[in-house]
Structure 1
Amino acid sequence: MRKIHHFQTKRVYPSPDSNDHPFGDKSQSFVDVLIDGRSMHEMLKKHERIPCFGWGIQQFQQQNIDYFLLDELHPYLYHRYPLMVCSWCGDEDCGFISVLVEREGDLVTWQEFRIEPDDRSLPLGPFTFTWDEYERELRNTYTANERSR
């Protein structure tokens, strides 16, 4: 039997003197993903990337939500999606951490985390969530961005 993890999101406002954005805009807030209360940003911080949610232009935001809700396939990764991206621009050319996302009924699983474009595996996951909680939290990352303006 699969373990069901708790999926939550939380807006993060890095302080200007922190190292949360070593190469990016230190004033940029973002929405972090918490799995069973553990921050994905903290778990993957050493790779100098931030979560793709809750920041950037509207098109970037909606595209990421569509990817992770499996409404749109990534053009070359297909069912893998860029989860952690460059804090300056979010551009995949800067490198990113991807995750394979699969839905089976009312469950969604994140697995096979990889550092791209190096295609190196990360020892993380798999994580399985209930679809309702997952969908609600992801949709709220867009409204969280709107509320923060």
Structure 2
Amino acid sequence: MDKINCLESRPSSRYDDYDPEQDGNKNTKFADLIIDGRSLYQMLKKYDLVPCLGWGSEENQRQMIDYFLLKQPHPYMYFRYPIMVCPWCGDEDCGFISVFIEREGDIVIWKNFKLEPEYKPIHLGPFYFRWRDYESAINKTFGTAGIQ
């Protein structure tokens, strides 16, 4: 383990207020994950996906939180989870970025980011978080953009 990373969440959106690209596009609002002061959304923006946390139906938001807190495995990816999804619908069939999440004692590890469905490696991480801080940051994402 290199170092313990700091994870926070904060409300964000796909476009800035004056971004001309938002015209005619869905300006999805979501919970951005901030790792050591850097936005995960901005780090992966070139893939035109958004973080999966903080938006969508109440059921979907709770399921995503349960995945990230390792309360349940993903139905077909096991300990890989969608972390960035389609900004229009959040559906994995549109393509997504997954991450392998594991817990070793008091440490949560994010590693092996992949662009799906091609399973193409994305050179990011690994990241190490203290469980207490991680759990708090993930739980705080609920309802960030409201319930749709």
TM surpasses 0.5? yes
What percent identity do the matched residue pairs reach? 46
Higher relative contact order (CA 8 A, sep 6+): 2
Partner in structure 2 of residue 131 of structure 1: 131
What secondary structure sits across from 2:129 in the alignment?
strand
Q: Which stretch shows the higher mean deviation, 14-23 or 42-51?
A: 14-23
Tell me what 2:97 maps to.
97
The answer as to whether partners of 1:24 and 1:87 remain within 8 angstroms in 2 is no
Give yes or no for contact 2:86–2:95 (8 Å, CA) kept in 1.
yes
Which range is displaced more, 110-119 or 14-23? 14-23
Identify if the C-alpha distance between structure 1 residues 107 and 20 changes in structure 2 by more than 3 Å, giving closer, same or farther.
farther
Change (3 A) 1:107 1:126: same
What secondary structure, in the 3-state scheme, does the structure 2 residue paired with 1:30 have? strand
TM normalised by structure 1 equals 0.90
* Runs of 5+ consecutive residues of structure 1 not aligned to the other structure: none
Structure 2 unaligned spans of 5+: none
CA distance in 2: counterparts of 1:74 and 1:59, whole angstroms: 15
Q: How many residues align?
A: 147
Measured at CA, do residues 48 and 108 of structure 1 come closer, stay the same or move farther in structure 2, by a change above 3 Å?
same
Q: Which runs of 4+ in 1 moved over 4 A?
A: 19-24
C-alpha RMSD of the superposition: 2.2
